[in-house]
Amino acid sequence: MFTAPFTDGFENQAVTTTFTDADCWSTPQIGNVFSWDVSAAGTPTISTTGPIAPANGSRYFFTEASSGSAGAVAELVSPFINLSALTNPALTFNYHMYGADIVGLNVDVNDGTGWTNDVFVLTGQQHPAQTDPWLNAVAGLGAFSGSTVQIRFRVVRGASFNGDIAIDDIVVDDFNGCLTPTNLTLGAVASDSAAVSWTAGGSATAWEYVNQTAGTGAPTGAGTAATTTSVNITALTPETAYEFYVRSDCGMGNFSSWVGPLSYTTACATFTLPYGSATTSGNDFTLFPGACWSEGNDSAIASGPDGTDGAWVADDFGNLVGGPNGFSARINVWNNVVMNRDWLVTPEFDLGATGHNFAATYSVALTPFTGSAAATFGSDDSVQMLITTDGGLTWTSIRTFDATTTISPTGQTVNVPLAAYSGTIRLAFWATNGTVPDAVDVNFYVDNFTIDGTAGTDSPEALGFTYYPNPTQDVVSFNALEPISRIAVRNMLGQVIQDTKIDALSTQINLATYAAGMYLIEVTTDGRTSVVRIVKE
């Protein structure tokens, strides 16, 4: 046991990649491939992570992230240290944390009653470059005054090998300077704001913080003053990655080291409508899942989406490689032993006040898992279109595709009126294979998702003509102020399926032979072409 003040620069440690215990330091993870090792130069991953030399002297401890797997834990435990001779005990140490895959460094303390985790925490990469100088951290140990303690440095391996973390120059002594804040925590993040909080280091009552574009690195100047341990940062840019740093302000120009970065990305802003148009879809899934779209993995409707990737993927619409629709969103619904419930979720849309005539339109298709033949859902398989009007607290089904629904393998258009809703909404496609083990293996496709109000809502004054009825079962009549010179009919794949030259104020088109769905009607009058949507029932 050592009596504080205690210092150790690890100079008595032998360079090794198989450290277990030496000089009263130890690791419980004996035999682990991810562990603490000792180096005298750079870490084995030469250029993309780790320092190039010790902070001082000729030795330092580091975790080698080239070994082990994601989530593995490496722990380095100090000797027993008696704090009874100190009045304001604190731990100080140097650290180097360069690497894109770094999760963080946690410092825990055991005073004989069990481990107190996260007495000090550094989250994520702390150094923008490998050649950056080591940084110094201070962690208050006042809660353990008079005790004999062990200190544990704990690291969780990240996703890949760019995650080496190094420590050096351990000191446990009285500290009368400025203690760093701890427990930097991210709260609610919106499209233009973020909430951040922390725990005061020692008796600090004032702080400075910096919120900046991700990747900028530790601040070099002053920050924004704060007198509380939480701030709400506003005027942020949607869909932008930021990093947050904070330090204690102990007065008279005395500051602690910066703590951070706490990294986060702002949410998408609410979309104003229309989302797409009669000729250009809001999301054609060329890039999956699309800007500000998200997924959910295996959760009930009552629970809502969890935001993680599920079974929706990008695939050729209708299993038709090189087809006119190109890529779409696709879900495979099959006889799995485990019930799957996966989400494809839109961004938020602002419908505005009541009285609008916005509708969601999209293409759907259903095929076997292989091939492009017709298919049918299993007995309790389904895909439902859902809506939430309360920020995702509750979801309501507004359209269902199941075993009773005939869905074309080549695609058909669906029109879902949204006039009953107002304000901010979000839509989702929720797919389930149910609980009945049917011998069915099908693909369901969604494409060309659009929300606008052009399906029969254009004013005669703006268009220069009227048309009716809409929806229709067959004939649509057109009456214009100027002679109509041409009418063309396109399906939602953009294909021209009818094109007629006309020279009359009134005319008709007949959709009786076409499948039910949405059609784009191009009407040319007085040299101007307008596009309206007609629903064929």
Q: Taking residues 280-291, report their average pLDDT.
A: 92
The predicted structure's pLDDT at residue 438:
83
User: Could you tell me which of 18, 170, 176, 202 has the C-alpha nearest to residue 95?
Assistant: 170
Q: Taking residues 135-150, report their average pLDDT.
A: 91
Q: Taking residues 400-410, report their average pLDDT.
A: 90
Question: Measuring CA to CA, how many Å separate 490 from each of 281, 362, 519, 520?
Answer: 14, 15, 6, 5
Q: Taking residues 80-103, report their average pLDDT.
A: 92
Write the secondary structure of 295-330 as one string of H (helix), E (strand) and C (coil): EECCCCCCCCCCCCCCCCEEEEHHHCCCCCCCEEEE
User: Could you tell me which of 473, 444, 430 has the C-alpha nearest to residue 299?
Assistant: 430
Residues 47-85 pLDDT 10s = 788 899 999 999 999 998 888 889 999 999 999 999 999
The predicted structure's pLDDT at residue 455:
45
Beta carbons of 364 and 443 less than 8 angstroms apart: no
| Average pLDDT in the chain | 89
% of the chain exceeding 70 in pLDDT? 96
The predicted structure's pLDDT at residue 537:
81
| DSSP structure string for 149-205 | EEEEEEEE--SSS---EEEEEEEEEE--S-PPPEEEEEEEE-SS-EEEEEE--TT--
Between 31 and 108, the more confident residue is 108
Rounded-to-integer distance, Cα 61 and Cα 75, Å: 11
Find the DSSP H helices in 372-426: none
pLDDT band at 279 (very low <50, low <70, confident <90, very high): confident
At residue 420, does pLDDT exceed 90? no
At residue 353, does pLDDT exceed 60? yes
The predicted structure's pLDDT at residue 459:
54
Q: Taking residues 265-274, report their average pLDDT.
A: 92
Beta carbons of 221 and 208 less than 8 angstroms apart: no
Residues 144-193 pLDDT 10s = 999 999 999 999 999 988 899 999 999 999 887 788 888 899 998 888 99
| DSSP structure string for 212-254 | EETT--S-SS--EEESSSEEEE-SPPTT-EEEEEEEEB-STT-
At residue 456, does pLDDT exceed 50? no
Beta bridge partners of 241: 265
At residue 39, does pLDDT exceed 60? yes
The predicted structure's pLDDT at residue 323:
82
Question: Can you say whether residue 50 is alpha, beta or left, with left for phi > 0 and alpha for psi between -120 and 50 degrees?
Answer: left
Between 339 and 51, the more confident residue is 51
Q: Which among 64-68, 125-129, 424-428 has the top mean pLDDT?
A: 424-428
Rounded-to-integer distance, Cα 17 and Cα 214, Å: 33
Q: Which among 252-261, 313-322, 514-523 has the top mean pLDDT?
A: 313-322
Beta bridge partners of 171: 7, 92
User: Could you tell me which of 14, 41, 24, 4 has the C-alpha nearest to residue 166?
Assistant: 41
Question: Measuring CA to CA, how many Å separate 33 from each of 19, 108, 161, 165?
Answer: 11, 22, 13, 15
Strands 341-350 and 271-272: parallel
The predicted structure's pLDDT at residue 66:
87
Tell me phi and psi for residue 460, to 5 degrees. Answer: -60, -35
At residue 322, does pLDDT exceed 80? yes
Rounded-to-integer distance, Cα 467 and Cα 269, Å: 37
Question: Measuring CA to CA, how many Å separate 350 from each of 275, 320, 354, 377?
Answer: 10, 34, 11, 33
Read off the DSSP letter of residue 35: -
The predicted structure's pLDDT at residue 457:
44
Beta carbons of 89 and 168 less than 8 angstroms apart: no
At residue 461, does pLDDT exceed 70? no
CB count within 10 Å of CB 82 equals 16
Beta carbons of 65 and 99 less than 8 angstroms apart: yes
Lowest mean pLDDT among 6-15, 134-143, 144-153, 280-289: 134-143
Domains delineated in the chain: 2-174 (2.60.120.200), 192-265 (2.60.40), 271-452 (2.60.120.260), 460-536 (2.60.40.3080)
Beta carbons of 60 and 167 less than 8 angstroms apart: yes
